[in-house]
């Protein structure tokens, strides 16, 4: 397995992998319309993919701060977005490799901090983030009666 930047020709497949992984985990149940956003992510960031023998196993994205950022507050931060592992590839270290690669990219970009939102039910992802050194930042959580997101950060 290798992790590399996605090619433009792969982005549609990446979007479908994200949606399939989120559906499998029931992470789209509360907001099904988020599937369209998952398919389109990539405009302000770098999409990384994990591949094995040309098979797409998983993806993650690092999005530089911009004026419409969901979470990043300035150019010293970037958002980790849309970690997704194909259901058939789960449990093979794909998520761990993707998180490691996105942290390395943040260091390469000379950022001070990586930030991310995660749904409370994404327990496996939380373990991956925490093992990589991310810590909960509850003061940045997005909490609402219908949909909540937990915030994590990593100082680089």
pLDDT digits (tens, 9 = 90+) for 83-133: 999 999 999 999 999 999 999 999 999 999 999 999 999 999 999 999 999
In whole angstroms, give the CA distance from residue 70 to residue 20. 23
Kindly give the residue spans of alpha helices, DSSP state H, lying in the chain: 11-24, 34-40, 94-108, 123-131
The enclosing H or E element of 80 equals strand 77-85
| SS3 call for 155 | strand
Distances (CA, A) of 155 to 15, 23, 118, 138, 144: 28, 31, 17, 15, 27
**Residue 54's pLDDT is what?**
80
> Helix 123-131 and helix 94-108: axis angle, to 10°?
50
- Cβ–Cβ contacts within 10 Å for residue 52, how many? 13
* Closest alpha carbon to 70 in 16, 14, 130, 142: 142
**Residue 143's pLDDT is what?**
87
Residue range 1-30: mean pLDDT, rounded = 94
Residue 31 has pLDDT above 90, yes or no: no
Per-domain residue ranges of the chain? 2-155
Regarding the domain with residue range 2-155, which homologous superfamily does it belong to in the CATH classification?
Gcn5-related N-acetyltransferase (GNAT) (3.40.630.30)
Rounded to two decimals, the pTM is 0.94
**Residue 15's pLDDT is what?**
95
pLDDT digits (tens, 9 = 90+) for 38-77: 999 888 899 999 999 889 999 999 999 999 998 999 999 9
83 Cβ contact partners less than 8 Å away, ≥ 6 residues apart: 58, 59, 60, 95, 98, 99, 125, 128
Token output for 27 = 């992470």
Residue 25 has pLDDT above 90, yes or no: yes
């Amino acid at each position: 397995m290798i992790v590399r930047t996605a090619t433009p020709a792969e982005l549609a497949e990446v979007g479908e992998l994200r949606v399939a992984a989120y559906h499998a985990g029931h992470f789209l149940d509360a907001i099904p319309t988020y599937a369209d956003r998952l398919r389109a992510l990539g405009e302000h960031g770098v999409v990384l993919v994990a591949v094995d023998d040309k098979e797409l196993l998983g993806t993650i994205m690092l999005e530089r701060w911009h004026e419409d950022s969901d979470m990043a507050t300035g150019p010293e931060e970037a958002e980790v977005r849309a970690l997704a592992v194909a259901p058939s590839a789960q449990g093979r270290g794909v998520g761990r490799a993707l998180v490691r690669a996105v942290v390395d990219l943040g260091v390469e970009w000379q950022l001070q901090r990586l930030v991310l939102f995660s749904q409370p039910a994404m327990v496996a992802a939380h373990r991956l983030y925490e093992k990589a050194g991310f810590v909960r930042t509850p003061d940045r959580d997005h909490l609402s009666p219908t949909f909540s997101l937990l915030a994590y950060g990593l100082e680089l």
